[in-house]
Amino acid sequence: MVFQDRFLIFWQKFMARVHIILSCLRRFFAKTAQILEKTISWLSKFKKIIAAVPVAVGAIILALYNMGDLPRVVGINLLENGSFTYQIPRGIAVFAPVAITSICLLLMFCSRRILTPWIVSVVSLLLPIVVLITNIFPA
């Protein structure tokens, strides 16, 4: 046999193996795509819950943190001279932002769109942080 004939036989065997491997990979990726598609379609049914859980957990964590770190009377609306316009109890300062976040999440569950109320509830998580910062570092 000539080199060309041997190479041609080798090439045909090699390509047959490559074809088998590629067909196995093609089936594997097709099956993986089907599984991912089913998983995503199943998770899309629970997208409101998936979006709400981290926000609710964050609100609870911030409330617990503020409950321990805020003074008994919390000042709101810091003036230029360093005093506050309003003085409210610590409980209201802790649970009012949680209530606002909860109302936003409730609106998210009631509306068809989830992104706008969800963003508002995420932004409402800034309230406890702002209250804590203004009462720890006044003017």
Domain ranges within the chain, ordered by starting residue: 1-45, 46-136
CA–CA distance, 52 with 55 (Å, rounded to integer)? 5
> Which residue type occupies 6?
R
Supply the pLDDT for residue 22: 92
69, two tokens: 């770190």
Supply the pLDDT for residue 77: 75
Alpha helices in 45-110 (DSSP H): 47-69, 90-110
For 87-115, what is each residue's pLDDT tens digit?
A: 888 888 888 888 988 888 888 888 888 78
pLDDT in tens, the chain (139 residues): 688 888 888 989 999 999 999 999 999 999 999 999 999 888 888 888 888 899 899 989 988 888 887 788 887 777 777 777 888 888 888 888 889 888 888 888 888 887 888 888 888 888 888 877 777 665 5
CA–CA distance, 56 with 17 (Å, rounded to integer)? 54
Q: What is the pTM of this model?
A: 0.64
Supply the pLDDT for residue 74: 80
Report yes or no: 139 and 78 within 8 Å, Cβ to Cβ.
Answer: yes
CA–CA distance, 129 with 69 (Å, rounded to integer)? 11
Report yes or no: 86 and 77 within 8 Å, Cβ to Cβ.
Answer: yes
Report yes or no: 113 and 97 within 8 Å, Cβ to Cβ.
Answer: no
CA–CA distance, 59 with 123 (Å, rounded to integer)? 11
Supply the pLDDT for residue 91: 86
